[in-house]
Every structure is written in C-alpha cells, then in structure tokens.
C-alpha cells in the first residue's frame, strides 16, 4: 500500500511539473540531493482510564536526507507580460536610496522559479511527553517521511549590492530564496505509557512546509543551497492497550520540525519550448 501510494504521488507530481513549465523558455529538469539535521517537536496528549488525561511536549534531533526532481525556469519566461510601472526610490541610509526608474515596457525579472517534488526520509526520534508524574512519561518512538510538492523563488542580490558598494563579481551568482510546499507526512508511531500501556499505528496526514535560505550557482548546471525549513507533519495517534490487550484509552501527538539542510542540484535536460518552430 505504501509503495503504491508513493508511485501514484510521484507520477502525478512529475506530470504536474512538466505541465507547469512547458510554456516557459529555458526550462530545465534537475535532480537534487539533500542532507541536514531535523529538530522534531511533539505535543502529546494521552487519555486512559487508569491515570486520566496528561499532556506534554518534547524535542529530539535526527538526520534528514532525500532528494527531489524538479523544473527551474526564469520568472519572466513563464510570465512574459509587459507593464507600465512608474519610477520610485527607497531610502536605505541617510542620503542614499535605491532607485527604480520604471518604464513603459517593463517585464517581470529573471528570478529563478523552482517547482519540484521532494521526498525526504531519516526523521527518527524518541520523544518523552509528560505522564502523571516525572517517573511515568509517554515514550514515543517516531519515524516519519514525507513527499511534497514545493515552489521556490530565487532572487539575485546583485542589484542592491551593486547599488551600495559597486560590483562584487564573487557575489554575482548569490541568491536569496523563499517558498513553500504541501503534501503528505507518513508517520510510524510506537508508544509506551504509564501502567504498562502501549500502542502503535501507521498514519498518513496532510503536511506543509515553509523554506528560506541562500543559493549559489556554482556552474551553469550545478547550484548549491543552504537553508532552513519548517515542517508541519500533522497528527499521529493510536489506541492504548494494557498487557492483556484490553483497550484503555488513546494517545495523539502533533509533530513539527525545524530543519537546517544543504543541497546540490544538477540540471540535466532543457525542455523544448512549445513556441519554437
């Protein structure tokens, strides 16, 4: 069941990527590998007929790793509209300002747009949320992986740098990026609790993420990225049973993660532009 779901999501996501980028000139397919550290947080609530209801929170760190298949293209190729924009200035220091001159025939900038499908694994942590006292917590063994579609925008920083200090060639390939995504978070949960209660379950929940960081174009085909991501992996829950397998209550835990990761992406194929003859 898990492999069937993953294949369906993967093929649907690839088809969506190709459909999204085919109008754009210079759209390229890329593969990316990612490695980092995930700090998972859990807000747990246990309810049973022996000790009542108890809540608590816990954190633990774990490696995270995975990869992505995506399409990158310039924003002004995907949105080729031309506009009339008046000029304006933004002060950033006494006596200094960044000036945009506007024009009658202004297009969207050539910021990089990345649309990708991302599969991440490796999140395996032990969380201990409060029980009726410090000696009897709920101990949660959590393993989670995710498949998400993600949109990322890379904005070059050369324009404001040039305006302040002049050209710095080493910083030409530097970008700041931000974005977000949504998909599924799959969690395997095993819980041990007060009075020898235990439970386990496999859940699939809607998840979302927000990302920010810096990118650096190492070559025409290779880009390095370093950034932060917030993941909401949804809620995992299970029934609690005693040693005689009698149902005694339930346990649920809301999972989220702050992740710091680095990645390399490699562009391997330029898509044909539909507008070309």
CATH of the domain at 117: 2.40.160.20
In a domain, 277, yes or no: no
Which residues pair with residue 214 across a beta bridge? 176, 226
pLDDT at 54: 80
Give the C-alpha separation, 243 to 49, whole Å: 14
Tally the residues of the chain: 277
In a domain, 169, yes or no: yes
Is the pLDDT at 246 greater than 70? The verdict is yes
In a domain, 10, yes or no: yes
- Which residues lie below 8 Å from residue 265, measured CB to CB, with a gap of 6+? 30, 31, 32, 68, 70, 72, 222, 223, 225
In a domain, 32, yes or no: yes
Q: Residue 240 sits in which domain range?
A: 2-270
- Helix (H), strand (E) at residue 4: helix 2-21
Q: Which long-range contacts (CB under 8 A, 24 or more apart) does 200-203 make?
A: 200/238, 201/236, 201/237, 201/238, 201/239, 203/234, 203/235, 203/236, 203/237
| Residue 15, helix vs strand vs coil | helix
- Percent of the chain, pLDDT > 70? 80
Per residue in 18-74, pLDDT tens? 555 455 567 899 999 999 999 999 888 888 877 777 888 888 999 999 999 999 998
Mean of the per-residue pLDDT values of the chain: 82
Is the pLDDT at 133 greater than 80? The verdict is no
pLDDT at 276: 45
Number of domains in the chain: 1
> Who wins on pLDDT, 46 or 213?
213
Give the C-alpha separation, 232 to 41, whole Å: 10
In a domain, 80, yes or no: yes
In a domain, 276, yes or no: no
């Amino acid at each position: 069941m898990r492999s069937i779901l993953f294949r369906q999501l993967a093929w649907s996501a690839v088809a969506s990527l190709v459909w999204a980028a085919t109008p754009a000139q210079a759209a390229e397919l890329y593969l990316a590998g990612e490695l980092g550290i995930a700090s998972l947080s859990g807000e747990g609530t246990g309810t049973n007929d022996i000790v009542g209801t108890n809540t608590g929170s816990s954190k633990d760190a774990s490696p995270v790793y995975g990869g992505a298949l995506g399409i990158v293209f310039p924003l002004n190729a995907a949105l080729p509209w031309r506009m009339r924009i008046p000029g304006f200035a933004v002060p950033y220091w006494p006596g200094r300002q960044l000036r945009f001159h506007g024009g009658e025939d202004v297009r969207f900038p050539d910021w990089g747009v990345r649309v990708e499908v991302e599969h991440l694994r490796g999140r395996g942590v032990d969380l201990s949320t409060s029980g009726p006292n410090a000696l009897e917590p709920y101990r949660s063994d959590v393993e989670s992986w995710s498949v998400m579609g993600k949109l990322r925008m890379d904005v070059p920083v050369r324009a404001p740098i040039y305006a302040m200090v002049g050209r710095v060639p080493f910083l030409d390939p530097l970008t700041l990026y931000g974005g977000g995504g949504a998909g599924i978070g799959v969690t395997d949960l095993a819980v041990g609790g007060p009075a020898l209660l235990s439970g386990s379950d496999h859940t699939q929940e809607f998840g979302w993420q927000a990302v920010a960081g810096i990118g650096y174009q190492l070559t025409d085909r290779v880009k390095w990225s370093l950034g932060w991501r917030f993941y909401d992996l949804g809620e995992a829950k299970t029934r609690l049973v005693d040693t005689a397998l009698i149902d005694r209550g339930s346990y649920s835990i809301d999972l989220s993660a702050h992740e710091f990761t680095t990645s390399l992406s490699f562009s391997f194929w330029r898509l044909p532009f539909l507008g070309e003859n």
